[in-house]
Amino acid sequence: MDSATLDVLDLRLLHALQLDGRAAFSRIADVLGVSDRTVARRFSRLRGTGIARVAGVTSSHRVGHAEWLVRLRALPPAVAPLAHALARRPDTAWVTVASSGTEVICIFRVAGEGPAPLGALGRLPQVTQVDAQRLLRPVMSHRWIGRTSALSDEQITALRPAVTTENAPVALTDLDHRLLPALAADGRAAYPELARHVGWSESAVRRRLDELRRSGVLQFDVEVDSGLFGFFVQCLLWLTVVPARLDGIARTLAGDPEAAFVGSTTGPHNLIAIAVCRDAGALHTYLTDRIGSLEGVDRVETVMITSYTKRAAPAM
């Protein structure tokens, strides 16, 4: 896939880090056929210029957390401050400004089966409407292919870590509560730095990080804007689907090259997807030719994503 500003090595490095965010530069260099110094220098440039960073992401399912998709409509002057305030909260992820700055959409992660913490939000005078739907089941097991299509199958196999088969929730320890936020801020932080940050020994940090990865509690994501790959339009699709066809349509959409996320929800819409397209014309074609051809889709609401205030990690 061609990139607007990234060269071939950048694309391969970003793909490699998406497979294993903490892979040693020497290992990546060996797979890519370049020197360790070249890989380290490239990543330093990508991170230093704000193009990309690696963030540790906690699996809500593995730690027994519910995810609530919350949509807030507000007066335009209040949207940016509201988005930044939500991004600073430790219980939020994926804070976006949508519809040209007239609404904020985010995910709250709540312990157990608790409700979304909406009390304070509803009392803000600038907020005109609040909607909350429970995310029931993410369908996609892969990232948007626009940023994971630079490596060969052999290179992917060489870099991909082992996948856990465990499903039971994992109880987080005191060390976890210190370690996971540090990894969210910098997924490639060195072990000595992590040890100083959490106040535990380097050996304990190394051991626990490995355990969290093997159990599936901790994964790593590369945060990079799709515009750098030449795809400038991102759109939320709220779909109302005939229940009997929900699983089939969700799996179908998850296989589309435009799909960045697909999941089932509660509420008047029972399926949400994020489509990434080159431009508005490509989005129109996707909606009419692809979504419009799916039998069982009764209604679609589209919401253009204006900007991201927080993806998986805390705002920098």
pLDDT at 93: 87
Distance in angstroms (rounded) separating the CA atoms of residues 95 and 33: 37
Least confident interval from 177-181, 193-197, 308-312:
308-312
Contacting residues for 123 by C-beta, under 8 A, at least 6 apart: none
Per-residue pLDDT at 313 exceeds 70: no
Least confident interval from 26-30, 82-86, 269-273, 277-281:
82-86
Contacting residues for 61 by C-beta, under 8 A, at least 6 apart: 169
With the C-alpha atoms ordered 258, 19, 264, 114, is the resulting torsion angle positive or negative? negative
Predicted confidence band of residue 141 (pLDDT cuts 50, 70, 90): confident
**Looking only at Cα atoms, what is the longest distance across the chain?**
57
Concatenating the DSSP letter of every residue in 183-240 gives HHH-TT--HHHHHHHHTS-HHHHHHHHHHHHHHTSEEEEEEE-GGGGT--EEEEEEEE
Residues 296, 253 contacting (CB under 8 angstroms): no
Q: What average pLDDT does the chain have?
A: 91
Least confident interval from 8-17, 38-47, 168-177:
168-177
Per-residue pLDDT at 250 exceeds 50: yes
Per-residue pLDDT at 315 exceeds 50: no
Predicted confidence band of residue 5 (pLDDT cuts 50, 70, 90): confident
- Tell me the one-letter amino acid at 134: R
